[in-house]
Structure 1
Amino acid sequence: MSLPRIALDAMGGDEGVRTTIEGAAIARRRHDRFKFLLVGDEARISAALADHPGMAGASEILHCDDVIGGDEKPSRALRRAKTTSMGLAVDAVKRGEAGAAVSAGNTGALMAISKLALRTMPGLDRPALAALLPTLTDDDVIMLDLGANRECDARNLVQFAIMGAAYSRIVSGKERPRVRLLNIGTEETKGTEDIQDAANELRAATGLAMEFEGFLEADKINRGECDVVVTDGFSGNIALKAIEGAARFVTDLLKSAFSSSLRSKIGFLVSRPATELLRHHLDPNNHNGAVFLGLNGIVVKSHGSANALGVANAVEVAARLLEDDIINRIKHDLSAVGEHGLSGK
C-alpha cells in the first residue's frame, strides 16, 4: 500500500543535500511504498539522486534555491516562507500535495511557518514539539513540549498530555499509556500552581485513553517508568539538552578512558560488544524525528546534525504518523475531553 508522499526539505540541516537524499533512499529501501517531493536546488538534488537510482521513480523535485538560515529569526523566516525550501515543503502539506513534511532546518522557523500554514487543531490552544527518548527498557518515552512554548498554563499541559498519549499509542501499541508531569518532586504538594492544577484535572478526568500516574522527577525520564512525560517547552528543552549532553559526556569519557593506556585498549577490545551497544543506544540518530503535535498536518523536525540514518528515521516517523492517522486520533481524544467536561483551568 502506498502512502501520501512526504515533502522533504532537502536544503535544511548541517550535513547537506547528499546526506538528506541518502537518508530518503535508506527509508525507501526499507519501505518501498514511500514517495517523496524533494524541495530544494534541482541541480544539487539531481546530482545526489544519481547515486540512488531506486529513488528516481519515487521522487519529484520542486526547485527552490532559497534557504532559511540556522540563526534566522522566525519572524523573518515567515516573511520568506513562500520562497524557501522549508516553507514550500510545509505548503505542500497545506495544499494536499504531500501528506507530511520533514525538515532539518531552523526549529523556530519551522514551528512558525507550520503554525501559520496549517493552523492549530480546533479545541487546542497550542501545538507542542514531541520526541522519542531512549530508556532502560525496550520502549522509548515520549516527551513534550520540547521548546515550542516557553510558558504553559494548566490547560496547555492537559492538552499536551492528551496529544502525547495519542502519539504513544501509535509508538508503543499500549491502549492506555502511562502519563506523568515533569516536576521537582513526586509529592502531590510539589510544583507550581499550573502543574498542580493540571495534575488535579488529569486525576479527575474520566474517559481519557491514558493512565495518569502523577509527577516524575527529571532523573527518572530515561528509566522507563512511564510512556509520556509532559512539561512546558522551557523546562522540556533544558531537560532534553541535559540528557543529550550527558549522553555525549558518557561516550566521550569512555573513549578517553579506553585510549589512556595499553591496558585500557585491551580492556576496550574485551568490552567492545557492550560499548558498541551503549553507543548505539545513546546515538541521537537512532531516535531522530521530533513531531509538531496539534497542527492540521504532519510536520517532523529532523535534528540539524543528523546523518543519513537519522534522516531515514525521521522520514519513517512521518510515514508512521500518516499511516496511523495521528491527527484524527488526537481529534477523537479531544472530543472525549469535551464530553466529560474536563475544564483545564
Structure 2
Amino acid sequence: MAQPIRIALDAMGGDHGPKVTIAGAAIAHDRHPDSSFLLFGDEAMIRTELAAHPRLARVATVRHCDVAVRMDDKPSQALRSGRRVSSMWQAIEAVKKSEADVAISAGNTGALMAMAKVCLRTMAKIERPALASLWPAPTARGYSIVLDVGASIGADARHLVNLAVMGSAMSRALFELDRPSVGLLNVGKEDIKGNEEVKAASSLLKETDLPNLDYRGFVEGDEIGQGVVDVVVTEGYSGNIALKTAEGTATQVMHYLKEAIGKSWLSKLGYLLARSAFRELRAKADVRNINGGVFLGLEGIVIKSHGGADALAFARAVEIGYEMAHQGLLSKIRDMLASSRRDDQEAAQ
C-alpha cells in the first residue's frame, strides 16, 4: 500500500490565517483521504479551527510557532527576523527534513521564495527557481501551464530552456503526458521576431530535441488561453503581467455579464433558461479553480496560494501540491534536466 502524501502547511499564511487554511485543508483531505498534515502556527488558533473538522484532526499534527511572516514583510526582513521559528520557515524545513512531501503557504510571496531557496537550495545547474501557474484552456484537460509568472525578472537563453524543461516535467506530472508541447511566448511567430535571448532559447530547444518535450516554436499572447501548447514559457516580468491581466479580465467579463442579465426581464428570463450554461461559464472563469503556483527548480516541492484565497481556493492549492508529490515531480525534473545536459555535451563535442 502506498504511503500517504504528507503535507506541511503554513497555517498562519495569507490574509485570513487558520480560518481559511484549516478549512481548505479539510476540503482537500476529504478529496484525498490518503493525505496527512503537519500544521505550523499558533497552536490555540489552529486547534480552535480543527475542532470543526474532526476527519482532518485525526490525520493532522500541530506544531506551535510563535512567529508568522507578515504579508508586508520584505523578504530580507523575513529571513533575518526569527526565520527559523516562523510557521513559513518550519513548513519548508519539514520538506527538507523529509517529514513532509510538500509545503504550502498563502503567505508573502517574496519571503516564501527567499526562504525556500535558502532552506531547500536549487537543483544542480538551476540558478533561479520559477513560479508556474495553471491557465484555463479549451482543451480536454481544461488547463495549460505558464511559467515564470513572477519568481524572478529577466531570463537568458539557458534559463528559458530550463523553464521549458521544468514546465514540461510539471505537465507530465499533473496531466500524465508523455511528451508535452511547449511554446516560447513572443511578440510574433516568425523566427526574426523577439529579443536575442528568446531567439537563442528557441534555437537551443530545436537543436536539443529533448525526448520528453515537444517544442512547437513561438506563441503569441492571445494564444495562451487557447491551449495551443501544454506549456507556455516566458520570463517572470511578462508572465506576471499576463497572469494578472487574465485574472482581471475574467472578473471584468463576469461583472459585465451580471450587469447585462439584470437590465431587463427578458435578460432575466434568458438567464433562467440558460442557467446551466451560465453556471459552467462561471466555474471556468472562477480563479479559485487555478489557485496554487508551483515553485520549480528547488530540491523540494513548495506551493504558493493566493494570499486572499478562500477555503475552496486554498483547497485547490493543497490538491496541486498533493498531485505534484504523488506524481513524482522532482524526479521528473531531474531526469529531464539530466537529459538536456547530455544533449548539450554531445552537441559541443
Q: TM-score range by the shorter chain?
A: over 0.9
Of 328, 335, 338, the residue aligned with 1:332 is 335
Aligned residue number for residue 112 of structure 2:
110
Q: Kindly provide the amino acid, as one letter, of the partner of residue 249 in structure 2.
A: A
Aligned residue number for residue 30 of structure 1:
31
Query: Once the 2 structures are TM-superposed, how far is the Cα of residue 256 of structure 1 from its aligned partner?
Result: 1.1
Does the C-alpha gap of structure 1 residues 344 and 234 become closer, same or farther in structure 2, counting only changes over 3 Å? farther
Does the C-alpha gap of structure 1 residues 236 and 343 become closer, same or farther in structure 2, counting only changes over 3 Å? farther
Q: Deviations over 1:9-30 (max 9, x none)?
A: 1111123312211111111111
Q: Secondary structure at the match of 2:55?
A: helix
Q: Are positions 1:173 and 2:155 aligned together? A: no
Aligned residue number for residue 192 of structure 1:
195
Q: Are positions 1:53 and 2:54 aligned together? A: yes
Q: Distance in 1 between matches of 2:105 and 2:210?
A: 35
Query: Once the 2 structures are TM-superposed, how far is the Cα of residue 263 of structure 1 from its aligned partner?
Result: 2.5
Identity fraction in percent: 48
Whether contact under 8 Å (1:3, 1:33) holds in the other structure is yes
Q: Secondary structure at the match of 1:297?
A: coil
Query: Once the 2 structures are TM-superposed, how far is the Cα of residue 269 of structure 1 from its aligned partner?
Result: 1.6
Q: Kindly provide the amino acid, as one letter, of the partner of residue 104 in structure 1.
A: A
Of 235, 253, 258, the residue aligned with 1:255 is 258
Larger mean CA deviation between 155-164 and 312-321 belongs to 312-321
Whether contact under 8 Å (2:291, 2:317) holds in the other structure is yes
Whether contact under 8 Å (1:11, 1:67) holds in the other structure is yes
Aligned residue number for residue 309 of structure 1:
312
* TM-score normalised according to structure 1 size: 0.96
Does the C-alpha gap of structure 1 residues 343 and 288 become closer, same or farther in structure 2, counting only changes over 3 Å? farther
Q: Equivalent residues in 2 for 1:28-177 (5 A)?
A: 28-80=29-81, 81-139=83-141, 140-177=143-180
Q: Kindly provide the amino acid, as one letter, of the partner of residue 128 in structure 1.
A: A
Structure 1 segments of 4 or more deviating over 4 A? 342-345
Does the C-alpha gap of structure 1 residues 184 and 207 become closer, same or farther in structure 2, counting only changes over 3 Å? closer
Q: Distance in 2 between matches of 1:136 and 1:4?
A: 30
Q: Distance in 2 between matches of 1:59 and 1:43?
A: 14
Q: Secondary structure at the match of 1:187?
A: coil
Q: Equivalent residues in 2 for 1:238-277 (5 A)?
A: 238-277=241-280
Q: Kindly provide the amino acid, as one letter, of the partner of residue 62 in structure 1.
A: R
Whether contact under 8 Å (1:7, 1:39) holds in the other structure is yes
Query: Once the 2 structures are TM-superposed, how far is the Cα of residue 309 of structure 1 from its aligned partner?
Result: 1.5
Q: Distance in 1 between matches of 2:300 and 2:175?
A: 22
Long gaps (5+) in structure 1: none
Q: Deviations over 1:288-334 (max 9, x none)?
A: 21100110001001111222121111111111111111111111111
Whether contact under 8 Å (1:201, 1:344) holds in the other structure is no
Long gaps (5+) in structure 2: none
Q: Distance in 1 between matches of 2:332 and 2:344?
A: 19
Query: Once the 2 structures are TM-superposed, how far is the Cα of residue 108 of structure 1 from its aligned partner?
Result: 0.9
Q: Distance in 2 between matches of 1:21 and 1:259?
A: 37
Does the C-alpha gap of structure 1 residues 240 and 252 become closer, same or farther in structure 2, counting only changes over 3 Å? same
